[in-house]
Amino acid sequence: MRYLITGTAGFVGFHLAKRLLEDGHSVTGFDGMTSYYDVRLKQMRHSILERHPNFTAVIGMLEDAPALKNAANERPDVIVHLAGQAGVRYSVENPKAYFDSNITGSWNVLELARTLDVSHLMLASTSSIYGANQSIPYSENDRADEQLTFYAASKKAMEAMAHSYSHIYRIPTTAFRFFTVYGPWGRPDMALFKFTKAILEDREIEIYGEGRMSRDFTYIDDLVASIVDLSRIVPSEANRVKTAAVKDTLSAMAPFRMVNIGGGQPFGLLEFIEVIEEAVGKKAKRKLLPMQTGDMEKTFANADLLVALTGSKPQTSLEKGVRAFVDWYVREGTSFEFHTLPPAS
């Protein structure tokens, strides 16, 4: 099949494109190469993909509708929209970057899907959407109207816009909500990258929320496997889940579905740090700090719908996944710059 993936120079997009190319598909990758973090890391990811004859790279911003349209010259069967302004905390400092990319840019993707009449549109959402929700574990059917950051709000807006397009234009659409993805080639602004780098350089690690936070960590290979499985399950009444114990999110008005991708096994932040210490072979110098604005104290996925649809869920142990990241970091990741922010506009 022909795939158009936005964000192929990013962490998730790189791994998904690599898997699809290895499976025999053709992939056009669209990416803006923004400077939110070290661009050299993005360039290296793309250079690996470009070794494959069935990969085509197009550089452009999501806000640039003509550039995005140019990436679809091969008329893709499936669009996987992974690009966007990442980072929860940065959205407090520069919300406009999130509006431009995650709302305006996502609307451009919806328009492209409409004009191309694709067989399946897939959208990357986030567990941050659950915000102030008090129901644990987070289920796709939970009320999610109290986002704590503009990042989460921009993703919720994307989901709502996508449902309207799915209803009006009958675009089969799956929105999947990620839960703290990690692994080799990960982002330098994420905790695993920052902690590993600091420990190896004998610097303090900053632990927000005094270590009370917990996260449902998802290893990148598991995430990609779930996306690939879901890509084959085009939302329709024919595949509505009818098991009494699982409530499907398939819309009554549109071929639209939301699915959590997470293992349903949260780990405390201090436990996470201990796993990193074991993999690195060195103790961390810890600095406990208060909770930051917009941080969620806990994330915890209910993966019942994912299992009902695909028969599986993320299962890689935290120890195995962290070890894989540390091995990659020591081998290839030490030269990349720490999290850098462009100026707010």
Which residues are the active-site residues?
Answer: 151
Q: CA-CA distance, 216 to 214, in Å (whole number)? A: 7
Q: CA-CA distance, 63 to 308, in Å (whole number)? A: 36
Can you give the length of the chain in residues? 345
Cβ burial, residue 161 (10 Å; 0-12/13-18/19+): middle
Q: Return the exposure string of 40-69: e unless at least 16 CB atoms fall within 10 Å of the residue's CB, then b.
A: ebbebbbeebeeeeebbbbebbbbebebbe
Strands 214-215 and 173-178 come out as unpaired
Instruction: State whether the Cα torsion 200-209-304-22 is positive or negative.
Output: negative
Q: CA-CA distance, 318 to 216, in Å (whole number)? A: 10
